[in-house]
Chains A and B, each alone.
Chain A
Amino acid sequence: MVEFLNSDMKPLRRIVSRTVVLPADHVDTDQIIPARFLTTTSRDGLGAALFADWRRDGSGGLRSDFPLNRPEASGARILVAGVNFGCGSSREHAPWALVDAGFEAVISPSFADIFRGNAARNGLAPVELDAVAHAELVASPGAEVSIALETGVVTLPGGGTARFDLDPFARRCLLTGLSPLDFLLSHDDRIAAWEDGLPSG
């Protein structure tokens, strides 16, 4: 099969980083990026709006107790969050904001379906771990963690490992920068033939 490189997305193989832990369950995309930041026509610069209403108080000052604001969170590329991460709106601005803020992976026991797909299409690995491994990560914020996308293995802070499943196509997109749009365009003949068989109207 021909591989297509998406110039927008850098291939990812291994992510090694300290974690930031946001222990909340059901983090919705309105928290990841509130709707008032969606009036843009661009994909750029959305990291500044990431978790805007959790990061800042009503007068615009940074909340020191919010995990992403702590000094040790600076430069972290792995976010650890609770179940059903990314629920709610289909806004792709959510992974755009996370990627713009430097994140390359989110680790959670489960992801909302639309977010999971949006993330993988943007070079943000959705890593689903079992409850035990997840609890270990939640208990050790700032720990150094390694994610091997090719083998689906996370090396935990205690030295143990945990496996995760990734949809094979999403894995290919992440590993190679494969663009789903180019993949679809490569099936143009099949699509045209299928359309020829459609009843008119």
Chain B
Amino acid sequence: MKPRTLFDRVWDAHVVVPEADDHPAVIYVDVHLVHEVTSPQAFSMLGDRGLPVRRPDRTWATVDHSIPTRLDGGRPAWLNAATRRQVATLEANCEAHGVPLFRAGEPGQGIVHVIGPEMGLTQPGRTIVCGDSHTSTHGAFGAWAFGIGTSEVAQVLATQCLLQSRPRTLSIEISGALRPGVSAKDLILGLIARFGVDAGRGHVIEYRGPAIRRLDMEGRMTVCNMSIEAGARAGLIGPDDETFAWLEGCDLVPRGAAFGRAVERWRRLATDEDARFDGELHFDASGLEPMVTWGTNPSMACGVAEPIPEPTDPEARAALDYMGLEPGRPLAGRPVDVVFIGSCTNARISDLRTAAGVLRGRRVRDGTRLLVVPGSGSVRDQARAEGLDEAFLAAGAEWREPGCSMCIGMNGDHLRSGELAVSTSNRNFEGRQGPGGRTVLASPATAAASALAGAVSDPRPWLNS
């Protein structure tokens, strides 16, 4: 049999109707994740035709994008009637169609890409979709996971299937070891800076090599999360013992002998040694510095202490102008108005532990606002159990309820025009965190260090002291 990649195996196992000259393949979806922002119109499309949800048992909903992360007298502090109505619409749709929903404040609620892996829904070899481009996160477990539009959300609700043309495959082999203080976030920012925001267009990336093997699952999720920022249709990593250890004991993962059988099945998903990819790239992680973005797309990035490069095209010049930055000088030392630690990229427990390690016993600089938003109720509760919340609060941070918050700025947590933020999120597009706001993407350690200094900072001195 022809040698196959991990992606080939997942594709082959989910073809309901093969591709033909006049239509793409019909692909079966194992897990459909739903949230309040991209689903109301999809449920309306079903309603217009009187269609039921085909597999409510394969559909899970949560609220994350537009919900408040601030409580007012113990109750959610809604931004406006529209956000409240959007959440109420999801509640009504889930009720009408028998779709399980994690409501705000309930155990299990959180950012859709944080709770899927927590529950054990995200398993190797599965197809996972959601009306959200950062669905690529779940690829860290060897699942084929990708974001879809709302019409496609309706298609999956109604048929549990999607039309897909077969993507090309791209291997990114990452050698070397990350230096101390350099994280998975720095790695993916470094990759995108090197290869560009459309390097992965039309492709599913498989991240490979020793630097990937050494990452824990949360670091792998951070890398796969930003595959979409490299333009890829998905990003995935072959499952290994690290993956199986995460999954063992999760609510929706089989136990005992059944778990052993699942692990045997998952091991067989690995890319064959002689399998061919459509494209191959190599990256040496050993020279990587803590990364920060200086522009308005994620490829406009450099080491925190390195000079911002001279612009070579009109986009880069416009980006520097928007950011109010000058080439030839490092970002380190640039005053910061807001620091945001959160999002589906970096709001898991290890991210909060890293940030708390930097912040503990210190104070956020006067004039800088620090917002810490856990990725889920479980992350929040674990952080409390470890006393991380106290470290954040004692440092002067705002400690919030789980949600997407200032990554997308839909719920009232947003930058004001002209403010500069160091953010652990995934997009530094113009106005992404609020109209006129300026975003510097960075790791949790860099974000925490920048909050203490009140300026963009290399985290390493803070980690060592």
Q: Which residues of A contact B (CB under 8 A)?
A: 1, 24-26, 28, 30-31, 34-36, 38-43, 53, 58, 83-84, 87-93, 110, 112-114, 117-118, 121-122, 167-169, 172, 180-181, 183-185, 187-188, 190-191, 194-195, 201
Contact = CB atoms under 8 A, between A and B. Distances in A.
A30 B38 contact: no
B22 A112 contact: no
Interface string B229-243: 001010000000000
Contacts of B202: 113
B124 to A, nearest CB: 15
B161 to A, nearest CB: 5
Given A35-B408, A39-B80, A87-B197, A190 B17 contact: yes
A110 B201 contact: yes
Interface in B116-146: 131-133
Nearest to B21: A168
Interface stretch (B96-104, B147-155, B211-219): B147-155
A75 B342 CA distance: 42
Contacts of B408: 35
A117 B201 CA distance: 13
A188 B197 CA distance: 38
Interface residues of B, number: 65
B309 interface: no
23 contacts: A30-B431, A35-B410, A36-B410, A36-B414, A36-B435, A39-B66, A41-B40, A41-B85, A41-B86, A58-B436, A87-B197, A87-B297, A88-B133, A90-B133, A90-B148, A92-B149, A114-B148, A168-B21, A185-B158, A185-B159, A187-B26, A187-B159, A187-B161
Contact of B28 (A25, A169, A172, A191): A191
Contact of A194 (B28, B65, B432): B28
Q: Which of A58, A90, A190 has the most CB of B within 10 A?
A: A90
Contact of B149 (A36, A38, A83, A121): A121
Given A26-B315, A28-B297, A114-B133, A188 B24 contact: no
B158 A181 contact: yes
Nearest to B315: A25
B435 A183 contact: no
Interface in B427-465: 427, 429-432, 435-436
A90 B132 contact: yes
B201 A191 contact: no
Nearest to A179: B151
B17 A187 contact: yes
A88 B85 CA distance: 26
Given A24-B315, A113-B233, 18 more contacts: A31-B429, A35-B409, A38-B410, A39-B410, A41-B89, A43-B41, A89-B132, A90-B147, A114-B133, A114-B148, A121-B149, A168-B21, A181-B49, A181-B154, A181-B155, A181-B158, A184-B163, A187-B161
B462 to A, nearest CB: 32
B435 A34 contact: yes
B198 interface: yes
Interface in B71-85: 80, 82-83, 85
Interface string B153-170: 011001111110100000
A190 B201 contact: no
Given A39-B83, A180-B163, A191-B160, A169 B410 contact: no
Contact of A42 (B26, B41, B233): B41
A21 B148 CA distance: 28
B269 to A, nearest CB: 15
B205 interface: no
Nearest to A25: B315
